Chain A
């Protein structure tokens, strides 16, 4: 059981920066997920924590021990790979026993532990089988048992479910979560799959191009994204660029007025912004309500547009609305889905939840500089 701390951790390959001065603290017993698109540096970070890759700079600490330069075998970690990586020439039992036998444990103790681990992952009796005789899901469970057998202080998961099919993924991710809770071990999990991250994490680090864009709980990053990347990467979002044109009220009633594409939008978003600052107003499709005649008084913002397309998805219907040259997506669920089935004509949209994020200076996405703006990681 251990805390993990990364201080200014970085990795570059020649001119390419894979991980840029990452600061991160993982609490004891927490399951923290590194979430991001491929190439964002999450796997590199994980492998540096494991010791499989040497950092170009920075520090890694487990509790208060500096492990930055320790080889993997000295860190007492458990690493679960994308492929189960079970040693094909060893039986299930000997695979699980491997970590203990290389340390010279006594056979009786090893056997007991193997049984214990098999029971833990629900594979009692499979000890004598060979890896090739197991299904993908079973192999991954044996891989779990194998890393847990050595009682590591930190568990590291490198997209362990991406090689499995859909249904297996769903059941296995909850097994992983349960195991982590039961053993109480600190875990760092890497994935590009948002639903996986949301299902099991205590906190999530959204990464992009080697940097941490935001660290927070699921609700934090979903409802209060701090950078354009997070706003757009997590779930779907409409981004309306505009300029701050005014500030109203104070305290709970404070509103920022944004002028965007000929509309004036009111946002409750508490962003320190001066008049004239460029911002992007983000609006989630499910927060847009398609209004019928007479409705709208409950909403601070009501805009009009022309329906371009309606996509009926089953539980939801997606409306693509042209609001003065830009396209807005609105998701309707429930009874109202069928109201606009014909997909034509003018429509009024109402919304309250508008998140404002400072626009990047001139780069199309992500933050510039050292990420010292809203994307600064929380301690």
Chain B
């Protein structure tokens, strides 16, 4: 039979703790490469540009060392304010367009359509990149191109359509449409269809059902969609460059490239990046607060 076991019992507790600690360490070791990748190539660079944003021009390189100032931010809010506003405008408009057209699309897709996989196959096309969309659209809208007869018939000069806000917004919306649809679709598929039927039986009209039942229940998907769409669109430049007028070409992403890479004004471009980041995370923060943590499932 068992001998008195006060001593082994104590060492058991220590052994258990030791093993638990080992398991934790192994777990951390397994995630370490991923952490390293993300820290070295995302988080550290971001802190670097935050620091950089307070230096002037390319003074970081100069032998005297960097000059620190907030001049870049002053410029951001004065000279480059239109760029910021245009970026916000483009991203915001395309988000609204995506919401407006995407929600019904997602609804029909989830509730009505049987050939869902076929639709999904088609929906990958935009994902290949805004570049091809912009390229394709530019071709379509070019004077002398396929759409010209249509525009002539409608009495609109095609140049007005080609390099304009609507075409940029349209292209951006097309690119991010699948993101919105999929997020909403995922949330919608978790909503029991019988809830809508119940609402209808109680006398609710479609709009009321939408506003009071569907919208609240799919909130997390809508938020996630908005986040994704907005985040992508404030950082893009293919559509504004290829399809936009001078105004749209002021989108921050492109200005960032011009100033940062071409003109090596590192300080200013860092400040621009910080502004972009702040915008992106502000949107995320407020949306997530509203949606109770949609992303971290």
Residues of A within 8 A of B (CB): 7-8, 23, 54-59, 68-69, 379
* 10-39 of chain B: CB within 8 A of chain A: 12-13, 15-16, 19
B13 near A56 with CB under 8 A, answer: yes
B63 interfacial by beta-carbon distance below 8 Å:
no
B9 within 8 A of A: yes
In angstroms, Cα B5 to Cα A54, docked, is 18
Chain B residue at minimal CB-CB distance from A25: B1
Interface residue B201 (Cβ < 8 Å from any Cβ of A): no
Q: Judging by beta carbons under 8 Å apart, are B2 and A57 in contact? A: no
CB-CB under 8 A from B2, the residues of chain A are 7-8, 23, 59
Some 29 contacts from A to B, beta carbons below 8 A apart, are A7-B2, A7-B5, A8-B2, A8-B5, A8-B9, A23-B1, A23-B2, A54-B16, A54-B19, A55-B12, A55-B16, A56-B12, A56-B13, A56-B16, A57-B8, A57-B9, A57-B12, A57-B13, A58-B5, A58-B8, A58-B9, A58-B12, A59-B2, A59-B5, A59-B8, A68-B12, A69-B15, A69-B19, A379-B1
B2 nearest CB neighbor, chain A only: A7
CA distance A59 to B3 in the complex (A): 11
Return chain B residues, CB-CB under 8 Å to A56. 12-13, 16
Residue of B nearest to A59 (CB): B8
Across the interface, which residues of A come within 8 angstroms of B19, CB to CB? 54, 69
Complexed CA–CA distance, A379 and B12 (Å): 24
Given A7-B5, A56-B16, 11 further pairs, Cβ under 8 A: A8-B5, A8-B9, A23-B2, A55-B12, A57-B12, A57-B13, A58-B8, A58-B9, A59-B8, A69-B19, A379-B1
Closest 4 pairs (CB-CB, A-B): A7-B2, A57-B12, A57-B9, A8-B5
Q: How far is the CB of A12 from chain B (nearest CB, A)?
A: 10
- Minimal beta-carbon separation of B57 from chain A (angstroms): 59
CA distance A7 to B8 in the complex (A): 11
Assembled-state Cα–Cα distance A183/B241 (Å) = 78
State in angstroms the CA–CA spacing of A373 and B63 once bound together: 87
Q: Say which size band chain B's interface belongs to.
A: 10 to 19
Residues on B with beta carbons closer than 8 Å to the beta carbon of A54: 16, 19
Residue of B whose beta carbon sits closest to that of A377: B1
Query: Which residues of chain A have C-beta atoms less than 8 A from B13's C-beta?
Result: 56-57
What chain B residues lie within 8 Å of A69 (beta carbons)?
A: 15, 19
A57 to B9 CA separation, bound complex (whole angstroms): 5
Q: Which of chain B's residues has its CB closest to A7's CB?
A: B2
Q: Measured between alpha carbons, how far is A185 from B5 in the docked complex, in Å?
A: 29
- Chain A hits for B1, CB < 8 A: 23, 379
Interface centre among A8, A23, A69 (most CB of B within 10 A): A8
In the complex, what residues of B have CB within 8 A of residue A55's CB?
Answer: 12, 16
Give A23 to B3 CA distance when docked, in angstroms: 11
CB contacts (< 8 Å) of B5 on chain A: these are 7-8, 58-59
> How long is the Cα–Cα vector from A54 to B22 in the complex, in angstroms?
13
Q: Which of B151-203 contact A (CB under 8 A)?
A: none
Per the bound structure, the CA–CA distance linking A58 and B4 in Å amounts to 11
User: Which residues from A are CB-within-8-Å of B8?
Assistant: 57-59
Chain B nearest CB, measured from A218 CB (Å): 24
Residues of A within 8 A of B16 (CB): 54-56
Shortest CB distance A65–B (Å) = 15
Nearest chain B CB to A58 CB, angstrom units: 7
Closest residue of A by beta carbon distance from B11: A57
CA distance A17 to B159 in the complex (A): 77
Most buried by A among B1, B12, B19: B12
Give the docked Cα–Cα distance between A55 and B16 (Å).
8
Q: Can you name the residue of chain A whose Cβ is closest to the Cβ of B10?
A: A57
The docked-state distance in angstroms from the alpha carbon of A8 to that of B12 is: 11
Q: Nearest B residue to A23 by beta-carbon distance?
A: B2
Residue of B nearest to A6 (CB): B2
Residues of B within 8 A of A68 (CB): 12
Bound: A317/B277 CA distance, A:
79
Closest residue on chain A to residue B9 by CB atoms: A57
